Amino acid sequence: MTKDGSAREGQGLIVKALSGYYYVAEDGGSEQPIQCRARGIFKKRGESPLVGDRVDFSVSGTGEGTVEAIHSRSTELVRPPVANADLAVLVFSVTEPSLSLTLLDKFLVHIEHAGLEAVLCLSKQDLSEEGRKEAIEAAETVQRIYGRIGYRVIGTSSRRGSGLEELRETLDGRLALFAGQSGVGKSSLLNALLPGLELETSEISARLGRGRHTTRHVELVRVGTGHVADTPGFSQLDFQELGIEDLGYGYREFRALSAGCKFRGCTHTHEPGCAVLAALAAGEAAQSRHDSYVQFLGEMKEKKRRY
């Protein structure tokens, strides 16, 4: 609102969506985000503003904000619902809860299809430094399998502050999302990156071996010159819901090898002349990656049969 109380217009970034309201950080503005409703025309078009959207907005004389237009998006994620992200930091702990390579692969398929760069963040590195066998083996396994196929791996410890500077530099100027298994310390990591943020955290349930979901809505947090979306913890990703048909595309090493397959549309499971199976036999592709691929392929076929 202008000094004389009249309406004004502006541009900005949606940093939070909650209960039908969109909170817009105005470009060049240092004030609190402006609480806005979306214009009814979006609903008629089947559109919805998302956290991460660049928007035009207006503020009436009464101080009510309205999202007037959504700028074109470079990326759009279904789960979590975030627009214009260009980096995914997949946070997995070396132990407590135990590292799940299958779940990590499921996240990576999602990220590859969305067209985002992925960085693997191994939290709770202090447990490796303390000599915990499971933690040491998990860290070595991730570096051996995922580092070899080109994923950057950053080890961090919220307790000791290790790896935080490297992570800050990685986040600079990016719109990144933090995602991963519940209880791995995503919120603790953000608290360590931004002292004073004080996101809610929860202790790991000894009985369940996993954490409670502590983050209940998507919100962008400013880190240096970038933004981070701390996203709700979840352990299930539905390939059909995400619109994934070509599962092999989500495995970057299979994607590179597939050009050498004898048959077009090779499923990389049984076909003669399959370059992926040949790489697997030669020890040039990880067995765990192919195992998860076959498991996901089976899940997708089963879902299709049901519907």
Binding site feature residues: 123-126, 180-188, 261, 266, 268, 274
Question: Is the Cβ–Cβ distance between 301 and 293 less than 8 Å?
Answer: no
CA distances to 86, 252, 269, 283, 290 from 273, rounded to whole Å, are 36, 19, 11, 16, 16
* Count of beta carbons in the 10 Å neighbourhood of residue 69: 15
HSE-up of residue 133 (Cα within 13 Å, Cβ side) = 0
Dihedral (CA of 289, 291, 294, 296) sign: negative
Helices (H) and strands (E) in the chain, counts: 9, 11
Hey, what are 8's tokens? 């004004």
* Count of beta carbons in the 10 Å neighbourhood of residue 203: 8
> In this structure, what are the phi and psi dihedrals at residue 295, rounded to the nearest 5 degrees?
-60, -45
- Binding-site entries for Zn(2+): 261, 266, 268, 274
Question: Is the Cβ–Cβ distance between 16 and 33 less than 8 Å?
Answer: yes
- Binding-site entries for GTP: 123-126, 180-188
> In this structure, what are the phi and psi dihedrals at residue 173, rounded to the nearest 5 degrees?
75, 5
Supply the angle between the helices 287-306 and 101-114 in degrees, to the nearest 10: 70
Residue listed under structure tokens 């397959």: 261
Segment (H or E) for 2: none
Supply the angle between the helices 186-193 and 164-171 in degrees, to the nearest 10: 90
Q: If we measure between CA atoms, which residue out of 29, 38, 27 comes closest to residue 67?
A: 38
